[in-house]
Structure 1
Amino acid sequence: MPLTETRLRALKPKDKPYKVADDRGLYIEVSPSGGKLWRFRYRIGTVEKKLSIGSYPEINIKDARQAAYEARVKVAAGGDPAMEKRKQKIRSEFLSAQTFEAVAREYIDEMMVQNGRADATIIKANFFLDQLTDAIGSRPIDEIEPFEVLAPLKRLEAKGKHETAKKTRSFASRVFRYGVATTRCKGDPTAMLRGALITPKAKHYAAILEPKDLGGLLRAIQDYTGNFITRYALLIAPHVFVRPGELRHADWKEIDLEEGVWRIPEGKMKARRPHAVPLSKQVVGYLKELAEMVGTEGYVFPSARASVRPMSENTLNAAFCVTTVMLAA
């Protein structure tokens, strides 16, 4: 006898799963936990197969019968509904792994992290991805149109973040090119956006260009009265021409005072190549003085709070600001 809504609601769980037939291969299976799953039984040749339709009450009896009818039509035409459903699931899972966000995260991991790019570079890449995720993150990468990428970039521009918009477009372009190389998409839609964004105006940082002014800065550094380790960092900085982060992370084992060379390993360099910094006689003298006071283990410029950490970026920047004020005075 065909099922009714009343009978369906009255079905109670038992110690083992059991089935209750509806009509023409459609039945409902009741699990020990109380779940009720619609299934359709059919044959392909001599082989009996089953198609899962969905759970009750999410799928009501009318919709279950309609699904069973459509499955019977497919079987009559020589199809296999269960196999088609399995293929569709595999296809959906495949497509979900081909979204812009999935390919972008793979690009960051495979082409940036695994290639040893700097932590700061990885952080920036994830930041650029965050700017795009809401708009195109869940879209299949091969279906994305230029206007879809342009929309989040224009929102950045509306906030005055022209440089961020430009760099985000550049990051998206690298992801699409990676997608092309790995056969996930056929082209880079951002290539058409180069003329659609505002060109950021170059901002030049203040710089000392006159020898007289440089002399004044060096005298201001000599007169610095803050922490002695910070003072030595300030004294050495103008001689070595490295980034503040590289200076702060200098380690005694990298420095050869006899040869007068500081060998920075590739892991600390932005370009990920080892770098040799020649040390002037003045710098060697400063380092020898510092070594007598703090020893030659660990960081050359350790944090005042914990010697196992380098001096903070804020400490060095604040010290440079103090010397600049002294120079202006």
Structure 2
Amino acid sequence: MPLTDTQIRKAKPTDRLYRLTDGGGLFPAVTPAGGKIWRLRYEIEGKEKTLVLGPYPDISLQEAREARVAQKRLLREGRNPAEEKKRGLRAVNIAANVTFEHLAREWHGINKGHWTPPHASDVLRSLERDVFPLLGARDVRTITVPEVLAVLRDIEARPAIETAKRVRQRMSAVFVHAIASGLADNDPAAIVERALKPLVKGRQPAITNLDLAREIIQRVDDTPAHPANKLAMRLLALTALRPGALITTPWGEFEDLDRDNPIWRVPAARMKMRKALKDDSSRDHFVPLSRQAMDAIRCLRTVTGRGPYVVPNGRSAHRPASENALGYLLNRAGYHHRHVPHGWRAAFSSVMNERFPADRHIIDLMLAHAPKDRVEGAYNRAEHMTRRAELAQEWADLLMDGQRPAAELVNGPRRASPLKMLASA
């Protein structure tokens, strides 16, 4: 039976492309992404061919049927509809819907719900900045391999080799989306992958020797800076948390501070993980707090305790600090390109795995590393808290041996800064 608009409109996507038949070789193909593309099967010179007419509902059911009649007329005249299409004699003009920018935004809209908001924003911004100005208005079917490579070479020249590779992956995903939608035949971004400059990707600069790590603490303490930043650096070193999680910490995340086993419970929403897991409270990260970490927290409270954030922004107490503030502090202490805030995680991992190799799984839990296999995946983020607390205290005792008390940092040497102490507000 012939199709109806209701049938086409209500057709749901599945894992595979499938077709709804209207008769006479005409059918809308329903893509896994949810698109509906009109296609026409026909036979010429004994071979079956398929002609893409365009997307539904941009091309209505009635228009698709009219296109079927027109293409059948061409066949009766001995003309190949596909060849006529290549020469621009199409029954329906869908040029506005096959530009790279149109399809890129369509692809982004389909996928952004599976990404975190910052990542979704980064993906679109990279295309708007680096690709759309040059190729955005182009018909996706006419973009060539050399043109794609030229876009990526411009990014490499900044230099931003890693960014070029990410943009290539995103461009390739757009071309694949176009192919799946029946609007393109090839992916020129896939072809250029091996033509790009190699990325020599090393670890972030980190000092992992225990004695040198102690020296970092000493030199940071001696560097003129706001006490909130010094205490935050100390807390970061003691907990081996990711810097991005530390700087957005509200005071309410610390639990049982007046008891024997104080805990810092970081919600899954603020941890580095897939968006689909961020609403799962069972994936909250539990950080046992050593005596030295508690000292740093108590001192921070005297400095910033009247605001919502443990480490507030220098210009506004109601915004979290910039991660750059901690990086600049290490740079001024003499560790530019030698140790970054994230480097404390490598220091903790190296020292503790060397001293306690049997606790490798638990150390990974403390670092909130994603499990590498199903066995490790059985470890819950809240498990083994007794041993985790013992290891946290061992690390704190090792790192803070010979260091000055946290209270001395509150009145230590300062650097001119817009940061104002909230305690005096």
Provide the C-alpha distance between the structure 1 equivalents of 2:256 and 2:331, rounded to a whole number of angstroms. Answer: 30
Q: Aligned residues, how many? A: 239
- Whether the 8 Å CA contact 1:100–1:136 is kept in 2: the answer is yes
| Paired position in structure 2 for 1:15 | none
Q: Deviations over 1:14-38 (max 9, x none)?
A: xxxxxxxxxxxxxxxxxxxxxxxxx
Q: Which runs of 5+ in 1 are unaligned?
A: 1-87
The change in CA–CA distance for 1:253 and 1:116 in structure 2 (over 3 A counts) is farther
Matched, 1:276 2:285: yes
Aligned residue identity for 1:321: N
Letter of the 2:218 partner, please give it. R
| Match 2:301 to one of 283, 291, 294 | 291
2:188 matched to 1:178? Answer: no
Alpha-carbon distance in 2 for matches of 1:225, 1:130: 39
Alpha-carbon distance, 1:213 to partner: 0.5
After TM superposition, where is structure 1 displaced by more than 6 Å over at least 4 residues in a row?
none
Matched position secondary structure for 2:266: strand
Contact 2:307 2:317 in 1 (8 A): no
Greater Cα radius of gyration, structure 1 or 2: 1
User: 2:256 and 2:184 mapped to 1: Cα distance?
Assistant: 54
1:201 lines up with 2:200 in the alignment: yes
Q: Deviations over 1:74-100 (max 9, x none)?
A: xxxxxxxxxxxxxx99944x4312211
Query: Are residues 1:300 and 2:315 paired?
Result: no
Give CA deviations for 1:44-87 in whole Å, capped at 9, x if unaligned.
xxxxxxxxxxxxxxxxxxxxxxxxxxxxxxxxxxxxxxxxxxxx
CA change 1:194–1:104 in 2 (3 A) is same
Aligned partner of 1:109 in structure 2 is 109
8 Å Cα contact 2:255-2:263 kept in structure 1: yes
Letter paired with 2:196: L
Do the aligned residues in 1 keep the contact of 2:220 with 2:329 (CA within 8 Å)? no
Indicate conservation of the 8 Å contact 2:131/2:151, yes or no.
Answer: yes
Amino acid at match of 2:228: I
* Superposition CA RMSD, Å: 3.3
Matches within 5 A, 1:1-329: 91-92=92-93, 94-112=94-112, 114-119=113-118, 122-158=121-157, 160-258=159-257, 259-266=262-269, 269=272, 271-272=274-275, 273-274=277-278, 275-281=284-290, 282-295=292-305, 298-324=308-334
The structural deviation recorded for 1:108 is 2.5
Q: Indicate conservation of the 8 Å contact 2:235/2:293, yes or no.
A: yes
Q: Which deviations, in whole Å up to 9, do the C-alpha atoms of 1:154-175 show, x marking residues without a partner?
A: 3334554433332221121122
- Mapped to 1, the partners of 2:310 and 2:186 lie a distance apart of 49
SS at match of 1:163: helix
Contact 2:115–2:274 (CA under 8 A) maintained in structure 1: no
**Aligned-residue offset at 1:122:** 1.9
In the aligned structure 1, how far is the partner of 2:238 from the partner of 2:189?
43
- Give the whole-Å Cα distance in 1 for the aligned partners of 2:311 and 2:256: 16
**Does the 8 Å contact 1:264/1:276 carry over to 2?**
yes
Cα distance in structure 1, aligned partners of 2:194 and 2:304: 56
CA deviation after TM superposition for structure 1 residue 267, in Å? 5.2
1:313 CA drift (Å): 3.3
Mapped partners of 2:98, 2:256: distance in 1? 53
User: Is the Cα contact below 8 Å between 2:245 and 2:270 reproduced in 1?
Assistant: no
The answer for the alignment partner of 1:74 in structure 2 is: none
Counterpart residue number, 1:71: none
Q: Secondary structure at the match of 2:114?
A: coil
Distance in 2 of aligned mates of 1:225 and 1:161 = 33
The structure showing larger relative contact order (alpha-carbon pairs under 8 Å, at least 6 residues apart) is 2
Moved more, 284-293 or 224-233: 284-293
Q: Does the 8 Å CA contact 2:307/2:318 hold for their aligned counterparts?
A: no
| Deviation for aligned residue 1:235 | 0.8
- Distance (Å, rounded) in 2 between the aligned partners of 1:311 and 1:213: 27
Following superposition, the deviation at residue 325 of structure 1 comes to 5.8
| SS, match of residue 192 in structure 2 | helix
Report the Cα distance in structure 1 between the residues aligned to 2:155 and 2:335, rounded to whole angstroms: 35
How far is 1:248 from its partner? 1.3
- Shift in Å, 1:278: 1.0
The separation in 1 between residues aligned to 2:304 and 2:163, in whole angstroms, is: 42
Q: Distance between the aligned counterparts of 1:251 and 1:294, measured in 2?
A: 11
Q: Work out the CA distance in 1 between the residues paired with 2:332 and 2:181.
A: 52
CA distance in 1, matches of 2:178, 2:250: 40
TM-score, normalising length: structure 1: 0.62
